[in-house]
Structure 1
Amino acid sequence: MKIFKTTFFIVSTIFILISCNSDTSKKTGEKKEVSNIKYAKGFDIIKTGNETKLIIKTPYPDAKEETVYTIVSEKSNKKNTIQVPLNSIVVTSSTHVPALELLGVENKLVGFPNTDFISSIKTRKLIDKNLVKELGHPEQINTETLLDLDPDLVMGFAINSNNKMFSNIEKLGIQVVFNGDWLEETPIGRAEWIKFYGVLFDKEKESDSIFNKIKNNYLDAKAIALKSKNKPSIVCGGLYRDVWYLPAGESFEATFLKDANINYLWKDSKGQGSLSLNIENVFEKGKDADIWTSPGFYETLEDLEKANLVASKMKAFKNKSIYSYNNTKGEKGGIWYFELSPIRPDLVLKDLIKIAHPNLLPDYEFTFYKKLN
């Protein structure tokens, strides 16, 4: 009987050990998908073992399908593969330029449509040295010059799936990847697209570090703003052909105002884009607002008063509390806000805090906004 019990115990133990080893082998063999994208909704970077996938979820508004690219280190003839690091690139929006500079790869930029739109001093020096070629109109890129440049990749942006220009570029054998950062719904989500550039230039660690710094700067500034017991009211936007355009309550611009601890008078409106209102409605609701931002392309209060019949009756006008980012321009007239703000929301937030709660950031200098005088 003892022999039987002993034998049974040994056999059972061996069976349990084999089962455990088998389960461990199965678990070890499984490849776990890992993503480090937390805030952005329009793209993802998935790592499975040694394989990296770049997924563009929203290349343009209302996209029905996502595009998946496999990141490789050696040239491949397989469809939707991107060999990294890129040695040359053409981008098609000035908003793409700051990310290249933050990663220290602006020297990889070889062409751009309408280089006058670029305001960055660093990249303007490259343009002046003819290291960044002029590619003509943004919607009609000079394909002959593009073929001569033969970039590893063209970074595009589109408003729908029917874009003949980029389709023609692909037919020439030049890879096109769409950047949908402008469709993000939150400031931090938009900034996280720095990681998109990081994977293309094999600088993922650097892009993670840069993003974390921007994110932490933003959240720290937000926390500072919330210390203020005062919450000034604000009206935004201005007239264009008798229509007053201002941010909808669910837009990323409204998020900036909320995070700056400012009472945006249209914060409860629906939508993520802009509101189109008549001048009477805006005046009735916004005439007593403490602050007015982004009134349009005006450099002085006098210019604004001539163009907007109700401007001088607004409290913000009387108190000279009107600020605009349109007057901070680059060498060729490009507006610095449009170029840099998507990747540096922390600086936008600090500007707004400086406007609404100047005592909270006494040593901070405006990056984008200027007061109209």
Structure 2
Amino acid sequence: MTTSLEKDPAATDTTVAPLQVTDLTTTFVSRHRSVDVVRGVSFTLRRGETMMLLGESGSGKSVTARSIMQLYGSAAKIGGSVTMNGRELLGLPAPELRSLRGGQVALIPQDPTGALDPLRRIGSQLVEVLGVHGVATTKQAARRRAEELLAMVGIPDPKRVADSYPHQLSGGMRQRAVIAIAVSCDPQVLIADEPTTALDVTVQAQILELIVELQQRSGTAVLMVTHDVGVARDFGGRIGVMYAGRLVEEGPAAQVLGEPRHPYTSGLLAALPTPGVARGALRSIVGSPPPVGAFPAGCAFAPRCPQARPSCHEQDPPLVTVAPDRAAACPVANPGPAQERAA
């Protein structure tokens, strides 16, 4: 078994992607019903690359990210394939998954307050992670490393913060602390689930800059979940636009946000406030997203789409290549021959 400290042999092979997701499905199950939340999501995340999952609340972004780490346990049935450096993760025994989480793949949660143990000091929580993954062999070494990590994420007084409880820190400081925990074992893949949602604009910019700096320093691949088009534009990289549990558009951020190829992406961008638009004149997407697990027949966006045709209500279009390095799931907006996107 490969421990979290041991790099997979494929990790040094630049032709192997750190993260490959193929036809990922997530179904929440209970005694009385099952609900499909993620429906056939596929993408590749390469070394040093950023992939943004962008969409409205309820589109399946966070469930996709957490399904990759298999954080739902028996509450969800996960299908498809998730590989790290060519190694299949779905179906791994629990001990191997525990070794991998926090080591080779780590999560920056949306709510740092809920993620941190309120009864333990920040330093103690960092020391535990370092010990579990074998990064530090003694408590003294782990404590020194914990303070180094807190300093690395821009905390000015790391010793004081290490001795503090979560409630004694500001929201921005708590978010920096969970980032320190996430990067403590030098993960190959970093998943950031709405990491700036509860922060003010100034702190939000600082956190995003910090993630970029850490990525550039270590070459980590970053999967970022956000509903904020501004964050997606500032962070760059690639964008996968999600709607009703599916990817409906994918490509380089500048191209997707500059020249969208799916009506849903166009609707999101048209709804953004701009200096030239008067108050109350903002455009909105008609209607509401379908309830999770109650997706309509055909294209899930068709009931809200101004370009929808009768066939859109009957056939669910696949994500296909519509231009070099671009894919979209809309034959109406992208007429003509298209090549189905390979997994």
Q: State the TM-score, normalizing by the size of structure 1.
A: 0.29
Q: Which structure would you say has the larger Rg?
A: 1
TM-score of the two chains, using structure 2 as the length reference: 0.31
Q: More relative contact order in 1 or in 2 (CA 8 Å, sep 6+)?
A: 2
Higher percent of residues as helix: 1
